[in-house]
Structure 1
Amino acid sequence: MTTKAPRKTTRKPRKRAATPPTPAAAAAAPAAGPAVPAAGAPGAPASTEDVPRLLNRWQVVAVLACLLFAALTAGLQVMSWHANRAAADNTEQLVRVQNIQSTLFRADALATTAFLTGGLEPPEQRAAYDDAIESITRQIADAAEAQPADREALADLNAAVTDYNATIAQARANNRQGFPVGAEYLRTASTGLRDTTVQGSAIPIAKALVAANADRAESELGAQHPFLVLLPGLVALGLLWWVNHQLARRFRRRINVGVALAALTVAVLTLVAFAVAAVQSSHNSDLRAGSYDTSYRESTARTAGNDAKANESLRLISRGSGQVYEDRWEVASQVVQDNASDETASLWDDYVSVHQQVVDLDNGGTYERAVALATTTDSSGSTAALDAFDSRSKEIVSESGAQTTDALRSGNTGILVLAVITLLLGIAAAGLAVWGIAQRRREYA
């Protein structure tokens, strides 16, 4: 009988349950999963935007754009207002100093013409001369008070006029006594009045004053710059557009109402400021080419006309050696023809016609008749013809000068009012921008 061998069995070892790690070991073990880059390293996730801080920055940009626009535009408008005032004041001063210059030549013409009569000069001509000197002294004082920049030159001019008047007084005293030296005193006074080589001569000082005030007046007349007024508005609109664009990107709103209203306010104010400046610039250009130019040129003609009359008398005083004064007369006459208005040009032609008769009589050997024609106060003489020209020319200078200054001052207050409105509405535009950004800030919160 066979017996079966017993089955050999093998038992598999049982797996032990994993022992949970101790807290210390768990803390020491590295965390599972992919490694995360450190903040700031390449591949790190972008940091979260600080929206409130961005909103604050955009608000600062919008507010500064509006406020700077308001301040700069209002400042330019105030400068425009001041320029018109200065142009009016400088035009008035120009008329004063030109009148001083013309009256100086007028006084010299009266003195030389009266000297031709010999002995006691006609009372009316002496009174006219004294009135001219008194008028010059008064106008110098008025001009010094009106324009501090001219005071030093006007003081020198006053001293020169005093010296001239003293020399004329010596010439008169000698002429009354029949002394030939009187004529020399007269020529010295008249030549010294015009002498450009001697420091302190009256006419060169007066001409320098005229040139300085003309430069100031014309500079202020041209001080309106419309396109310069556009720049602050364009810059402000560009910044407000940028702020609105940034808000649209973050909040998916195409237009921020507050910022848009601020931009609209800036745009309207800029267009109004530009239009006003453009109109004022055109107006000032018209004045410069119109009444201002008429006043300046007519005063130049009046000055030259009286200079010519003085040279006419000096020619006769010098008798046979007076050609140099006739040459000066021709130069002065050409200045009158180049600058006189149509109205006074015809009056000057009347004087030129009589002067030619004086020259013909003198050249023809009838000296006494030439003197009589030059000194008579009748309408047929050269004195009456010159007086008619001088009187009308003086009126035109006064009228056109007043038209210029009145036009510059009338309506100029409106520019100042516009500057105040621009400043206030610019502040309001800044408030609108703040309000618009505050809406987004509430949405974010």
Structure 2
Amino acid sequence: MAITSRAPAPAGGAGGTAAGPPAGPPGPGTAWAEGVERLRAAATTEPGRLRIIGALVAGLVLLFGAVTVWEVADRVGSAEDVVGRSQPLSADAASIYRSLADADTASSSGFLAGADEPRGVRQRYEKDMAGASRLLVSAAANAGEDAASRRQITLLGEQLPRYTGLIEQARATNRQGLPLGGAYLRYANEQMSTQLLPAAQRLYEAETGRLYEDYDNARSLPLASLGAGILALAALAWAQHRNYRRTNRVFNRGLVAATAATLVALLWLAAGHAVARSSLAEARAEGQESLKVLTDARIAALQARANENLTLIARGAVLADDNRSDKYDVDFAANMKDLDAGLEKALRLADDGKGREPVASAADAVRQWKQRHAAARETDLRGDYQAALPQVIGGKDHKDSSGAAFDTVDASLERALAHEQAEFTRAARSGLGAFGGLVTGSAALAVAGAAAVLLGIGRRLSEYR
């Protein structure tokens, strides 16, 4: 008997149709939907709700800590810049300005002395030039990407050698007894007045502007941190109230501990910023503002002295805009007016005896200076140049010169500046110190608070097991 073989039927059944491919993995979005569904299901039970509440409250406490660390670190960085970078750079820019003005004064004083130029006057000029050059190098290294400062530094670097060259030419010609030396000195003074000092002023204003930006940033309120802290405390209060309503238990130790940690961090943040803002405001109002006023007053005194010297050197060769008055004598009067206004303002800003005493001494010396200048000017206008000269530059037989009064003004203003600089440094460092430990402390308190929340919620969850 023959045996016949039959091919197996297709898997599709009697119709012979092939079955479709097996189902693949869940499509996109399925895992998210499943997670949402599980969360919704968990929220229908008390243990699930407790877990969600614990996670949210702990997250808010950690958010408060993170925002606080970020904002406080930014304020600390700005306060450190005020103390260690922007204020010193502003002070250096002011020193460049002062050194240039003082060098111009010293050069004119030495020129008046002629071949008998005092060695001290020459050394003062050389010291000023060396100091200005050194500070320019430092300013260039610290200017960074500040285009305004770099432009002024470049201009000063280009013009300074030209000025010193003119001064040396004036000295050499003056030693030979040639009148052309006075022309060289006047041209050098014009370059100083129209190129170097305005550039130094703009550099000082740019650096002071950077200082004020750091001030404002260091003193700005940490609104995000304060808001996050209040939100975290509100969430903790709500969680404890909910726990009390459902269990009649007044305290949950974990939530109480978290509340205490968050409250301490918030109060520390508020108090630290309040002290820092107060100290930095004091540094700006009673330190930096006084420094600026005193610096401007000292520059006015230096320029007045240079113009007083140039009045004798030019002897009417350069006229003011009215084409009748001596230009340098007119400029001297304007400088003295600025000096009087600056000293009056400095006296108002001085907040203690040590600050007022040198300013008052400078004001007294200014009054003497004006009297002696008027006497010397009257002598010169009578045509007695040889008698007027010692009244301005002093000498063995003429100690009560206008130059001696200027030296008293300059020395007094230098003492006042040193005092205000010390006051600024003290107040600014106090402001920086108010932030001490706040970054690390707020981070530690936030972590401890979040952990306490989880422990407190965990204690409640254990009651359902």
Tell me the TM-score range normalised by the shorter chain: 0.7 to 0.9
Aligned-pair Cα RMSD in Å: 2.6
Distance 1:227 1:422 in 2: 13
Report the Cα distance in structure 2 between the residues aligned to 1:234 and 1:205, rounded to whole angstroms. Answer: 50
Task: Compute the displacement of 1:381 (Å).
Answer: 1.2
Give the counterpart letter for 1:390 in structure 2.
D
Residues 248-257 or 330-339, more deviating:
248-257
Residue 327 of structure 1 pairs with residue 330 of structure 2: yes
TM-score if structure 1 supplies the norm length? 0.81
> Is 2:55 the partner of 1:71?
no
Greater Rg, structure 1 or structure 2?
1
Corresponding residue number in structure 1 for 2:394: 376
The match for 1:210 is 204
- Cα distance change, pair 103–326 in 1 and its aligned pair in 2 (3 A): same
Q: How many positions carry a matched residue from both structures?
A: 395
Shift of 1:427: 0.5
Asked if the contact 2:79–2:431 (Cα under 8 Å) also holds between the matched residues in 1, the reply is no
Q: Is residue 2:357 matched to residue 1:356?
A: no
Structure 1 counterpart of 2:132, from 131, 136, 141 = 136
Q: CA deviation at 1:190?
A: 0.9
The residue aligned with 1:306 is 302
2:268 corresponds to: 272
On the 8 A contact 1:95/1:401 being kept in 2, the answer is no
Q: Which residue pairs with 1:154 in the alignment?
A: 153
**SS class of match (1:185):** helix
Correspondence 1:156-195 to 2 at 5 A: 156-195=155-194
Where does the alignment leave 5 or more consecutive residues of structure 1 unmatched?
Answer: 1-45, 196-200
- Give the SS at the match of 2:91: helix
> Hey, what's the Cα distance between the residues in 2 that align with 1:243 and 1:360?
88
2:283, 2:425 within 8 Å by CA — same for their partners in 1? no
Amino acid at match of 1:344: A
Q: Shift of the alpha carbon at 1:295? A: 2.1
Aligned to 1:86: 81
**Letter of the structure 2 residue corresponding to residue 415 of structure 1:** F
Kindly report which structure 2 residues correspond to 1:282-293, keeping only aligned pairs within 5 A, or say none.
Answer: 282-293=278-289
Structure 2 residue corresponding to 1:345, chosen from 352, 360, 363: 363
**Distance between the aligned counterparts of 1:79 and 1:326, measured in 2?**
52
1:335-374: CA deviations, max 9, x gaps? 2112233232222222222222222223333333223322
Higher mean alpha-carbon deviation, 352-361 vs 144-153, is at: 144-153
Find the residue that maps to 1:117 and give its secondary structure.
helix
Letter of the structure 1 residue corresponding to residue 214 of structure 2: E
Displacement of 1:238: 2.3
1:67 positional shift? 0.9
Percent of matched pairs sharing the same residue: 27
Alpha-carbon distance change, 269 to 343 in structure 1, aligned in 2, over 3 angstroms: farther
Structure 2, unaligned stretches of length 5 or more?
1-39, 320-325, 344-358
Q: In structure 1, the residue corresponding to 2:113 is in which secondary structure?
A: coil
The alpha-carbon deviation at position 435 of structure 1 amounts to 0.9
1:118-172 CA deviation, whole Å, 9 max, x = no partner?
4453333222212221222223234444554555643432332222111111222
Cα distance in 2 for residues equivalent to 1:66 and 1:404: 37
Task: Find the residue that maps to 1:379 and give its secondary structure.
Answer: coil
Q: Deviations over 1:9-44 (max 9, x none)?
A: xxxxxxxxxxxxxxxxxxxxxxxxxxxxxxxxxxxx
Match of 1:431, SS state, is: helix
Superposed, which structure 2 residues align to 1:16-95 within 5 Å?
A: 49-89=44-84, 90-95=86-91
Residues 428-437 or 95-104, more deviating: 95-104
The match for 1:426 among 418, 436, 446 is 446
**Structure 2: distance between partners of 1:435 and 1:382:** 81
SS in 2 for 1:415: coil
Q: Report the Cα offset of residue 225 of structure 1.
A: 3.6
Task: Give the counterpart letter for 1:231 in structure 2.
Answer: G
Q: Post-superposition shift, 1:81?
A: 2.3
Range moving further from structure 2, 128-137 or 426-435? 128-137
Q: Distance in 2 between matches of 1:343 and 1:375?
A: 21
Distance in 2 separating the partners of 1:158 and 1:379 = 38
Q: Call closer, same or farther: CA 1:162–1:395 in 2, change over 3 Å.
A: farther
